[in-house]
Chain A
Amino acid sequence: GQNIDQPTEMTATEGAIVQINCTYQTSGFNGLFWYQQHAGEAPTFLSYNVLDGLEEKGRFSSFLSRSKGYSYLLLKELQMKDSASYLCAVRDSVANQGGKLIFGQGTELSVKP
C-alpha cells in the first residue's frame, strides 16, 4: 500500500534546531517534497529531493535515503514564524510520467519563546 508517516506534533524552542522525520512506502518514487503550511493558508514549497543526500537551503535542509524510505527536514535557528504544519509528500510515478503527490498527515510544529 501507500503510506507516509511523520510525527503528529513537535515542540521546540526559539533559536534551537528541530528535525522532522518522514518514512514512506509507495509503489513508485520520483521525488520527495517538503511543504510548510500555516493555518488557513496554502502549502508553501520548501524542498525537493530526488537523489540521496542532503539539500541545504538557508535555515532549512532536507535529507533523503531512498534505500531506507526515509527523509528528514532540519530547521535551524528556529523563529516564532516557523510555527506551522510541515507536510512530507512523495511523488508516486516513474520519471517523465508526471504523477500524483501522496501526502503525510503533517507535523504540527510549535515554536515556544
Chain B
Amino acid sequence: KAGVTQTPRYLIKTRGQQVTLSCSPISGHRSVSWYQQTPGQGLQFLFEYFSETQRNKGNFPGRFSGRQFSNSRSEMNVSTLELGDSALYLCASSLRGNTEAFFGQGTRLTVV
C-alpha cells in the first residue's frame, strides 16, 4: 500500500509569489491535514479536509488556503509569500480523521 505522497519535495520561491503544494493520501483515507514545521514553532496545524470540506482550521492568516478533491487528494496554497513562510510543510492522512494519522515526506519551502 502506497504511503502519503507530497509534491514537490523542495521549492524555492521569491517574496510576494504564491505557491501550491500537493498531497495524495493513503488509498481509502478521506481526511487530509496540513501542518507547518519550523525550528522555532515546531509543528503547527494549518487545516483539515474531509470529503472535500474544510472541517478544522488553525490560527494562520488567510494567505494560507487549501482544498480537497473528490479523490481525496489535497492542495495547499500560500499567496503573497513572506520570508517567515519558509518551513517544512507536512500533510497527514487519516481514514476518517479520528484514527491513526500518517505523514508524507513533506515539502521544504524556502522563500528568498
Specify which of B42, B44, B94, B106 lies most central, judged by the most chain A CB atoms within 10 Å of its CB: B42
- Within A55-109, which residues are at the interface with B (CB < 8 Å)? 87, 89, 91, 93, 95-106
Nearest CB of B to A99, in Å: 6
Question: Do the beta carbons of A93 and B98 come within 8 Å of each other?
Answer: yes
- B56 interface residue, CB < 8 Å from A? yes
Q: How many residues of B contact A (CB 8 A)?
A: 27
Q: Which residues of A are interface residues toward B (Cβ below 8 A)?
A: 30-31, 33, 35, 41-45, 48, 87, 89, 91, 93, 95-106
Q: Which residues of B are interface residues toward A (Cβ below 8 A)?
A: 31, 33, 35, 42-45, 48, 50, 55-56, 58, 88, 90, 92, 94, 96-106
Given contact pairs A42-B90, A93-B98, A102-B45, a sample of 15 additional A-B residue pairs in the complex whose CB atoms are under 8 Å apart: A33-B100, A42-B103, A42-B105, A43-B90, A48-B100, A91-B101, A97-B97, A99-B56, A99-B98, A100-B45, A101-B33, A101-B43, A101-B101, A103-B43, A106-B42
